[in-house]
Amino acid sequence: MEIINNQITPDKLKTMAKNRFGNMVKAVVDIENKTMAVDAEFHSDLEGLMLQNSSKNENLWGINIYPELEDSDRIEFDSMINLRPAQNNRTRGVESPEIRGKIISIVNKLVQK
């Protein structure tokens, strides 16, 4: 598991993907701090790492990154940690277009082109 504050290369993400799931890396994005944690078997493990590093639960969203794809196509909004009825998110996806936009922007800044 690793917290990304600056940038990560697509090649490093591809290596992580091959070592764990084949073509995908699990990630948790902090939309307030504009950071993300990557490379764990479960989003909940990444969420725990982020919480230990000053993130707040309401700002954390789970995604899957497909490093072989480009820009927003590489992001899949699907995680059990996204189930948050108190925040009006009743699915494993991210229902708010505003939050999805923030996540896409952060991932695109943190993953080198």
User: Whole-model pTM?
Assistant: 0.95
Q: Which residues of the chain have pLDDT under 70?
A: none
Number of H helices, E strands in the chain: 3, 5
Q: What is the pLDDT of residues 47-67, one digit of tens each?
A: 999 999 999 999 999 999 999
3-state secondary structure of 21: coil
Any idea where the domains of the chain sit in the sequence?
A: 2-110
Q: Is 105 exposed, middle or buried (0-12, 13-18, 19+ CB in 10 A)?
A: middle
pLDDT score for 71: 78
Q: What is the H or E stretch that residue 19 is in?
A: helix 10-20
pLDDT score for 80: 97
